[in-house]
Amino acid sequence: MSKSLYFTSVTMALALALTGCGDGAEAENGASSSSAVETVAPPEGQKWSTTVSQTEDGGYVMGNPDAPIKLVEYMSITCSHCATFGEEAFNSIRDDYVESGRVSFEIRNFVRDPLDLTAAMLSRCGGEGPFFALTKQALSNQEQMFTKAQGMGEATYNSVLQSEPKVRFVRLAEELGLISLFQQLGISEDQAKTCLSEEATAEKLMSGTQTAVEQHDIQGTPTFLLNGKKIEGTNWAMVEAALKEAGAR
């Protein structure tokens, strides 16, 4: 086994052993403010909701990079609670909070299993601009992905995972129907296969998951940080309340 393949396998095992979906540890209250934070206008001709960049932590952040209120979500594409949160919250976070310039919203992939890792790699295939839209669509496709995974059968699934690293996630994405899904979202088949063959991307995602466990004690998804501190709650009502308490109102 190559060093890089060994690293990915060991880290995957660690992440699966320590984490779950919607099973986070106790959290602290986020930063609070007694008064509302002023809105911040974007540069002329721009919108904060289309201002997206990759962060040093390996996530993607939408909005004013200097926003005084910074919301981070650790999420897994195979987590049903994350899919529910995305459906309930994404449009409101973007339109009601990020556009004001007061709040930035960062997603950090917290990969839990090979299906999650495959989808996360594809969500990054188009770079910064389409990341949030691709992630949202991947979450919306969760049920169909699970159905196809169950239809694979154990023998096929194990055969795919034992493939060479450069073809492993390509084969898995084909079996799950993810390449055709992302084609509909603007990622060509060749582009998708190139992204899925990049072993360094898989290793970086797994490394980010391990770092999240070690540095922020992330135990489940979704888990949220507000200005660097974990907050209580995994649903939109609780997260929105924390945002308002921090001055986003």
Quick one: three-class SS letters along 19-74?
CEECCCCCCCCCCCCCCCCCCCCCCCCCCHHHCEEECCCCCEEECCCCCCEEEEEE
Checking if the pLDDT of 13 tops 50, the result is: no
Distance (Å, whole) CA 113 – CA 187: 23
For residue 65, the model assigns a pLDDT of 93
For residue 183, the model assigns a pLDDT of 95
Mean pLDDT to the nearest integer, 38-55? 95
For residue 23, the model assigns a pLDDT of 57
For residue 33, the model assigns a pLDDT of 52
Checking if the pLDDT of 104 tops 80, the result is: yes
- Which class is domain 3-32+52-245? alpha beta
Note whether 161 and 242 are within 8 A (CB).
Answer: no
| Closest among 59, 60, 37 to 51, alpha carbons compared | 60
For residue 35, the model assigns a pLDDT of 84
Mean pLDDT to the nearest integer, 94-119? 97
For residue 233, the model assigns a pLDDT of 85
DSSP label at 100? G
Mean pLDDT to the nearest integer, 222-245? 95
E strands, the chain, in order: 20-21, 52-54, 60-62, 69-75, 103-109, 220-221, 223-226, 229-230
For residue 249, the model assigns a pLDDT of 83
Mean pLDDT to the nearest integer, 117-126? 97
Q: How large a percentage of the chain has pLDDT more than 70?
A: 87
Q: In what order do the strands lie in the sheet with 229-230?
A: 52-54, 60-62, 103-109, 69-75, 223-226, 229-230
| Closest among 187, 73, 220 to 121, alpha carbons compared | 187
For residue 24, the model assigns a pLDDT of 53
Which residues sit opposite 52 in a β-bridge? 62
Note whether 81 and 222 are within 8 A (CB).
Answer: yes
Give residue 15's pLDDT band: very low, low, confident or very high (50, 70, 90).
very low
For residue 125, the model assigns a pLDDT of 96
Mean pLDDT to the nearest integer, 47-75? 96
Mean pLDDT to the nearest integer, 61-82? 97
Q: Domain extents for the chain?
A: 3-32+52-245
Mean pLDDT of the chain: 89
Q: Is the pTM here over 0.85, yes or no? A: yes
For residue 4, the model assigns a pLDDT of 40
For residue 191, the model assigns a pLDDT of 97
Greater model confidence, 205 or 19:
205
Checking if the pLDDT of 134 tops 50, the result is: yes
For residue 21, the model assigns a pLDDT of 77
**Sign of the dihedral defined by the CA atoms of residues 167, 168, 171, 173, in that order:** negative
Checking if the pLDDT of 10 tops 70, the result is: no
For residue 20, the model assigns a pLDDT of 59
